[in-house]
Structure 1
Amino acid sequence: GEPEYSGGGTVDLVSRNQVWWTGLPEREEAGSPNVIGAFTLARSLQYLQKIGIEKLALYEEELLLYARERLQKLPGIKIYGSFPRLAVISFNIKGLEHALLGSILCFEAGIGVRTGCFCAQGYVRNLLGIDAESISGIYEGKEPALLPGMLRISLAAYNTREEIDRLLQWLERIIAHQTDFKKNYHFSPSVGAYIPRQWPRQAKTRWPFILPGWS
């Protein structure tokens, strides 16, 4: 069959009316090989082997347990899923929409998190105790960011306890001042996310958020 991408290296002969595709695997490898990508992947694997995969796994587990222990002490927080697990924690805070919480952390603290259903809508809704039919009429035609979901932090070998502490400090601040934060943000349909009300007007239709001078 025809390759997914056509281009250099995928053909043996081309006429005005016909193309003779070359054999596999070259037929599916259009364009120049990603030599730089292959080289950097190899060096990355060498670096990981030098550190030791087992050591990395133990460190991530340590971060996971450290984060979970402190998250569980926050008022109104609900952590989803079971343990043991990989160094990923999904949670919600009572009274705060997941997308709003993610935006606050992004704008106010410079902390990157994921919000929504994480490409696993059925499983997330199961953990939340809701079904698609019960929300389809309520949310039909609205933005995906307004649908039920969670907030997720993903920890890795390059993260530190100090970064977790910073996240916890901000979560405590947000929980203690929910009303103020809610007043300061609004949902922008044009952007598809919650943004600060005082965000510059000329930037409200820009995506992604690229305002290095804004604070």
Structure 2
Amino acid sequence: GLRPPATGHDNPHYFDDAACIRACVLAVAHPGDPHRAADLAEFDARYTQDGDGVHGARAMAAAVSLALAGANTTACVTAALAELPEETEIGRNARHALHLARAADSAFALIPLLEHQIVDHVYSYGIAAAETVPVALALTVASDGRIAEAVPAAACLSRVADSAPALAGALTGALGGGASIPASWRDTCRTLSGCVLPRLTGTDLVELAELLEATQPARPGG
């Protein structure tokens, strides 16, 4: 059988954002170290992605890593951009989306601009990393890192609503911390129903997050 990176390169959907979602979780292993977080995300991404799919994973890992260490929105987005080569589709889209975001009055005001200038209306799958990652970064900026604004705005972009809200939520949630998540969202989503993996029925995601936090090594000087 094939081994990475051939597995990712030969995947017809090498450009999608599956690894970008995974990267947001992997960033937990390296809070405050965007380079190591990005490298870990790439190691994982190479199994299933190539090109923009890998670049997007590196970008999300770098951004979330810094957010987990208390960095601000600007620092996180700058770290993400550093992982997106300018000559790639994801790099071009991200820079354009951020240009739009910085001029927008709000995350909601940004929606029609992203809808018509970033989101593809031809290809039938709205999970291309070159669209969803730029959308997530742009909405993070336009919302000033506020999850309660970024996620609903991302959900309004129906073509990319499968993953853009998750990516935007991961980054803004890390920026704002658990207290920034509306209580109704938290209470509705915290307990797994076990539809896909019955053994996880009843698992409390908040308790799981607390266990993960407890395993983190002490930060230098803290």
For the superposition of Structure 1 and Structure 2, which TM-score range results when normalised by the shorter chain?
Answer: under 0.3
Report the structure number with the largest CA radius of gyration. 1
TM-score, normalised on structure 2?
0.27
TM-score, normalised on structure 1?
0.28
Question: Higher strand share goes to which structure?
Answer: 1
